[in-house]
Amino acid sequence: MTKAATTKATIISSSTKPVTAAPTLASTANPSATVQIEFTSRETFVSDLLNQSSEAFQARSKLTKEQIEPVFRRAFGSFISLIIQSFRQGSVVTVADMTFNPSESLPSNGQILSTLTDAIGNSEISFDIDPDSIKVSSAAPSGVSRMTSVLTATSLAMVSLLLSYCW
């Protein structure tokens, strides 16, 4: 680095608030494996379910978590939580992410499907889920991609700032 480039780099780092990747990486240090699940329950859809901050969304989300999380906790030691992403029309279509501890054995999509189907058949879930509507995506580590995205964005921003001062 030339003396001018060194000076400019110093000015950049001292004139802005410190932006480093380390704290961000630390906040995502517990990566998890995420599986997306979607299912339809035979109930009347209300438009308030489209708004995540609405009372209807919150109540439906809570009910769904209370009914489904215990089923998966009993079945899989690696299960962490169910995160409701959205509801949409078609009776009530629920789209959620299931998070698992990747350091433990992850269930297959078939195991997840059969666990929920069995719970429905055994009346362990109080709302009417259509077992034929259940869709399970492939499991993939989620923490790594978030860390990579944040690190990449931070790096690109810093390079852009450096280049704009150098040119």
Say if residue 11 is in the same domain as residue 47.
no
Q: Are 46 and 56 in contact (CB under 8 A)?
A: yes
Are both 157 and 76 inside the same structural domain?
no
Q: Are residues 3 and 61 located together in one domain of the fold? A: no
Statement to judge: residues 118 and 98 lie in one domain: yes
Say if residue 40 is in the same domain as residue 120. Answer: yes
Q: What is the pLDDT of residue 17?
A: 39
Does one domain contain both 21 and 67? no
Give the CA-trace dihedral at 118, 35, 103, 144, to 10 degrees: 180
**81 and 137 in one domain?**
yes
Q: Report the CATH number at residue 57.
A: 3.30.70.960
Dihedral sign from CA coordinates of 157, 158, 162, 163: negative
pLDDT of res. 93 = 97
**Distance (Å, rounded) from C-alpha 78 to C-alpha 41?**
26
Give the domain range for residue 16: 1-29+143-167
**Residue 157 vs residues 12, 23, 104: alpha-carbon distances, Å:** 12, 16, 36
pTM for this prediction? 0.65
Q: How many domains does the chain divide into?
A: 2
Nearest to 96 by CA among 156, 46, 35, 13: 35
Q: Evaluate whether 130 touches 117 at the Cβ level (below 8 Å).
A: no
Same domain, 80 and 12: no
Q: What tens-digit pLDDT sequence spans the chain (167 residues)?
A: 444 443 333 333 333 334 333 333 333 445 678 999 999 999 999 999 999 999 999 999 999 999 999 999 999 999 999 999 999 999 999 999 999 998 888 899 999 999 999 999 999 999 899 999 999 986 544 444 433 344 444 555 555 556 666 66
The bridge status of strand 92-100 relative to strand 135-136 is unpaired
Whether residues 152 and 86 share a domain: the answer is no
Is 45 in the same domain as 123? Answer: yes
